[in-house]
Structure 1
């Protein structure tokens, strides 16, 4: 009977910075080597126990992982050194430059650097924003560069600084100013300017200037809002216009007024009651006119009409003149002077006389209607009419009739 002898290759070699897998060391058994993190295996990963009791393969070693050397970025520096696993390098750009890429990079287990390559590019603030009525003085926009602001002629500078500097963060230290246009003081007909001597016609006024002017008597500013210079333009055109009347036209007794409004050239018409006459208006029209802030044309009033006393003006010979009233009549006397509109007369002749003409008259706006003058009413003597003979005389009875 044949006997077998067990082959044992012995305890395999341990490696630095790594470990071994496998605990059986007889013929055909295998062991596997691994490296700890940050190291990579150099040599055979697996060893096999052969029949001659020797491990087949080269015992490996664990060598540190290394990343490629990083180049120094132009206009920048590297903080730190080395390229082994776990090494951390930082990057900084020179003043006036900004980085693009990863500021910090780490050597990884796979032998590659984390992040992206770093480049340093020059910081530029770009040209300041354009502004109206002005211009820039300067040629560069890099960090530390200075640009000067300047305004056109006939404008005023309003801003925090006459210059601006490009900062490291890519912004300008001061914003562009406002160059606000001046306004030419105009000629204002029928007005005088108030204020400082420099505020006169033909002088340029600064932005924000308020134009104070006073219109001649009877005129007022066309717009009550302040006239202000706003960046080269007046907010409104100064102008004097005729003033409106401050109140309605004067009241009138025994009449009424009708008016269009209180504006310049508006008219007010006056109408008197029947029996009253409109007086006091200069042009003999029924109107007052609003002219330059006041009612012009006189002081209207309604004066009552009185008819002449008929007993004095045209006495009725051989008769009497009476005034009609609701409950009868009474005789007019010469001393009566107040004979108002609407008074009615009655003409009555004495006995033996008859009336020739109208039986009466009415006082209408100061005159009698119909007129009591020529031809007027007269009382003429009454003559009896001739009657035809109603009898025949005796001597005529015996007359033969042919």
Structure 2
């Protein structure tokens, strides 16, 4: 009886060890895109699972891939990969998509309109599982404004012809008053919120007696106050160059518009050497009078010592100042008079000018 009981206990232990050595498998770990809805939490040894791609994804293999739960509690390997379907990006939007022509499943396009435009359509579109967009791109339609009201004692001049009872966002106009009055502001427009600029007030405006400018004069003007939009013209003394508009106008603020400036001529401040000026190559002694007008260019000649050749460097007269290039070396009196053929202006010109040194500013005249 004792030996029978011992044998029964040993058989139960052996059976227990055999049963408990087989493990179960948990839910398989799968990559993005694989359908997880049909997967259970626990699987027994030997169970198989067929992996498929979810809606909106394409499989990397033609046939479905099966995995099996092994007696170690692990799953066999699968080479299935799922890639999202792609939606073609609308051609007008491709420049904004950094050159991309497609967007993956679940992508979202968000649309906005510029100020002054109203959106007609959905403000977003989603890439669907079948490779199409949920909504087409919307339209952005310009805001309309009611026609502006003219000022009292005045009128409106539109930039573009207007038809109907409205005008579009961005379109502008000018307010004018009956002389001698001036509008408190001259410009109006259809604004982004759909409203038109309110009309200005017409008021009498005058500007003070105009004054002269240095090295210039008023061509003709009676010394009196001037009304809105009246003009005065300026000119410069001989050899001075007018910089700016030659006319100024009395503005609606009671101030004159900006007066021009008369820019001074320059002298070429070297005693010996040759220059290129006014389409001629001249010895400095032949430049008579020694005068260069504002904005004109003078070319000096410098020596490339390494190549033993000359190269031209241009300088520009700027309101009485003509910088002399740092590379220019004025020859001595003996060299200038006895050996002029050796000067940089007379020897062979270099094939290319050396780059200018950023640490060598031009020395002023």
TM over 0.5: no
Higher helix content, 1 or 2 = 2
Q: Which has the higher strand share?
A: 1
Q: Which has the higher contact order (CA 8 A, sep 6+)?
A: 2
- TM range, normalised to the smaller chain? 0.3 to 0.5
TM-score by length of 2: 0.33
Give me the TM-score of the superposition, normalised by structure 1: 0.31
